[in-house]
Amino acid sequence: MSHLVDAARLTDLIAADARILDVRWKLGRTDGRDAYLAGHIPGAVYVDLETELSRHGHPDEGRHPLPSTGQVQDAARRWGLNAGDVVVAYDDAGGLPAARAWWILRQGGVDVRVLDGGWQAWQTTGGAVEAGDVVPEPGHVVLADISGGSLTIDEAAALAASGILLDVRAPERFRGEVEPMDPIAGHIPDAVNLPTTAHVDECGMLREPDALRRTFAERGITDGVAVGAYCGSGITAAHTALVLAEIGIDAKLFHGSWSQWSNTPGRPVATGE
C-alpha cells in the first residue's frame, strides 16, 4: 500500500469520510493557522506542529523533541480521530511537516497517508477550498507508543558506525560550511549526506520508485541494510523516512537530530565530505 495519495484519490477519500489534517508550517513562520483559515481542503483540521507534533524541551533535547504518546493522543482526539479512520496529512512545504504527522501517527497505529505535492497540487488540480476553522466532534482514538521507531543520541552514533545514518540536510550544512540554526556546524561522524530534496521533482511530487531506489542504492541503502535518518531538528528527516517506506525500506529517525547533537557537550563533530 502506498503511503501517498494524489489529489484525485483524496477527493474519493474525503467522500468516504477520511480525516484530513492541514499541517502547514515553515521555519521562520510561527505557524500556518492564518493560511489555513484563509483557505484549506474541505473538512481539514489545523494541526500545530510546534505544540501538537512536538513539545518544548531543553536545548540538549533538540529544537523539536518528540512529544509523548499521551500528548499526541490528546491532539488526535481534538482532530476528531477514531479507531479505524483513514487520515491524510498535507502541507505547503514540500511534504516535510506532513511527513512528521505521518511518521508519528503511523507509529501510533493509525492508517495515515500524505498528499503528494501538498496544497499546491490540490490547487493545481482545481480541488475545492473552504475558509474558516473546522472543529470536529472529539474523537476516541487510542494510540500505540509512538517512540518505537526513534533513535536515541547514543543509538544514532552507533548506527553511523554499524549501518547507514543519513544526514538529509543541505550539502553545505553537512560539510560544515554554514549553520543557520544550531551552535556548531558539521555532521555526525560517519554519517552519509543525501538531502531529502533529491527525492521530489520541481513540482514537489515524489519521483518514480525506480529512480528513488537508484538514488538510495548509490548511498549503499538497499533491502536489509540498517538505516536511520536525521536533519536539523527531526522534521525533514521524517520525509526521508516516508520516501524509504514508499520503496519498502523501514528507517529509524533520530528525532533530536543535529540540534540535539550540537547542543550536547562532548559529541564529536565532522566536517567536509
Cell of 174: 553537512
If asked whether residues 119 and 212 sit together in one domain, one would say no
Q: What is the CA radius of gyration of the chain?
A: 18
pLDDT in tens, 129-160: 999 999 999 999 999 999 989 999 999 999 99
Instruction: Answer yes or no: 231 catalytic.
Output: yes
How far from chain centre, in Å, is Cα 160? 21
If asked whether residues 178 and 255 sit together in one domain, one would say yes
Domain end position, chosen among 124, 142, 169:
124
DSSP code for 247: T
DSSP code for 30: S
pTM given for the model: 0.95
Count of CB atoms situated within 10 Å of the CB of 106 = 22
pLDDT mean across residues, the chain: 95
pLDDT in tens, 108-136: 999 999 999 999 999 999 999 999 999 99
Containing H/E element for 167? strand 164-167
- What is the count of structural domains for the chain? 2
Containing H/E element for 24? none
Asked whether residue 217 is assigned to any structural domain, the reply reads: yes
Helices (H), 144-206: 153-162, 171-174
Cell of 93: 512545504
pLDDT in tens, 23-77: 998 776 667 899 999 999 999 999 999 999 999 888 889 899 999 999 999 999 9
Mean pLDDT of 77-83: 98
Containing H/E element for 101? helix 96-107
How far from chain centre, in Å, is Cα 126? 26
- Structural domain harbouring 65: 4-124
Containing H/E element for 239? helix 236-246
Asked whether residue 237 is assigned to any structural domain, the reply reads: yes
User: Which one from 93, 156, 194, 231 is the annotated catalytic residue?
Assistant: 231
Asked whether residue 216 is assigned to any structural domain, the reply reads: yes
Tell me the CATH number at 205: 3.40.250.10
If asked whether residues 108 and 42 sit together in one domain, one would say yes
Exposure string of 182-196, with b = 16+ CB inside 10 Å and e = fewer, is beebbbbeebbbbbb
